[in-house]
Copies of this chain bind each other. A is one copy, B any other.
Amino acid sequence: MVSGGGPVGCIGLDWGTSNLRAYRIAADGRVLDRRESTAGILKAADGDFAGTLRATVGDWLDAEPDAPVLLSGMIGSRQGWLEVPYCPCPAGIDAIAAAVRRLDLDGRTLTFIPGLLDPGAGDAPPDVMRGEEVQLLGCGTEGLHGLPGTHGKWAVVEDGRITRFQTHMTGEVYELLVRHSILGRLMDADAPQDADAFDLGLARAAQPGGLLHHLFGTRTLGLTGGLAAGAQPSYLSGLLIGHEVGAALASVPADAPVTLVGSPRLCALYARALAAFGRTATDAPPDAAAAGLHRLAQRLRPSV
Contacts and interface: CB of A to CB of B under 8 A. Distances in A.
A277 to B, nearest CB: 13
Contacts of A243: 210-212
Contact of A181 (B176, B215, B216, B220): B176
A168 interface: yes
Interface string A199-237: 000011001111111011100110110100000000000
A98 interface: no
B217 A124 contact: yes
A123 interface: yes
Copies in the complex: 2
A72 interface: no
B246 A210 contact: yes
A127 B216 contact: yes
B168 A213 contact: yes
Nearest to A246: B210
B126 A212 contact: no
Contacts of A45: none
A11 to B, nearest CB: 30
A282 interface: no
Contacts of A266: none
Contact of A244 (B127, B180, B204, B210): B210
A82 interface: no
A240 interface: yes
Interface of A (DSSP majority class): helix
A80 to B, nearest CB: 14
Interface size class of A (residues with CB under 8 A): 35 or more
Contacts of A128: 220, 223
A125 interface: yes
Contacts of A168: 210, 212-213, 216
B125 A221 contact: yes
Contact of A169 (B170, B216, B247): B216
A298 interface: no
A172 B182 contact: yes
Contacts of A124: 204, 207, 209, 217
25 contacts: A117-B224, A123-B204, A123-B207, A124-B204, A125-B204, A125-B226, A126-B221, A127-B217, A127-B220, A128-B220, A128-B223, A151-B182, A169-B182, A170-B212, A172-B182, A173-B212, A173-B215, A176-B180, A179-B180, A208-B250, A210-B247, A210-B248, A212-B247, A213-B244, A213-B247
Interface of A: 117, 123-128, 151, 166-170, 172-173, 176-177, 179-182, 203-204, 207-213, 215-217, 220-221, 223-224, 226, 240, 243-244, 246-248, 250-251
